[in-house]
């Protein structure tokens, strides 16, 4: 689902609310989350899960195209999402 799909579904559910206002609210929430994550903060949304950054050490990797195993990968931070119990339980219904 894309952001515009998400907004469209919210507009259908909240039919008495201005679609432009819903779009702006979703945009601002996502911007705020991005800002806080880039500042190194952790975000927890009860029932959904938590977003945090994980540090990846520098390492030597292999280029899958050429087979060269001397490729240096710099250290970096990667986004990590840990689903909450309610979300895990809900998703596991479809197994």
- The CATH code of the domain that includes 88 is 4.10.520.10
Residues 2 and 24 in one domain: yes
Residues 47 and 9 in one domain: no
Strands (E), the chain: 43-45, 49-56, 59-61, 71-73, 76-83
- Beta partners for residue 61, in sequence order: 71
> What residues make up the domain containing 9?
1-40
Residues 74 and 34 in one domain: no
Residues 88 and 46 in one domain: yes
Residues 36 and 68 in one domain: no
CA angle 5–7–37, rounded 5-degree value: 100
| Total domains present in the chain | 2
Q: What is the pLDDT of residues 23-70, one digit of tens each?
A: 999 999 999 999 999 999 999 999 999 999 999 999 999 999 998 888
Residues 21 and 60 in one domain: no
- Please state the pTM of the whole predicted model: 0.76
Inter-residue contact 50 to 81 (CB < 8 Å): yes
């Amino acid at each position: 689902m894309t952001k515009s799909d998400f907004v469209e579904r919210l507009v259908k559910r909240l039919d008495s609310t201005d679609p432009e206002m819903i779009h702006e609210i979703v945009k601002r929430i996502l911007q705020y989350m991005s800002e806080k994550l880039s500042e190194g903060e952790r975000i927890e949304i009860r029932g959904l899960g938590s977003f945090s950054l994980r540090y990846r050490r520098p390492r030597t990797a292999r280029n899958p195209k050429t087979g060269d195993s001397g490729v240096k990968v710099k250290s970096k931070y990667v986004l990590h999402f840990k689903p909450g119990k309610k979300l895990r339980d809900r998703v596991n219904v479809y197994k």
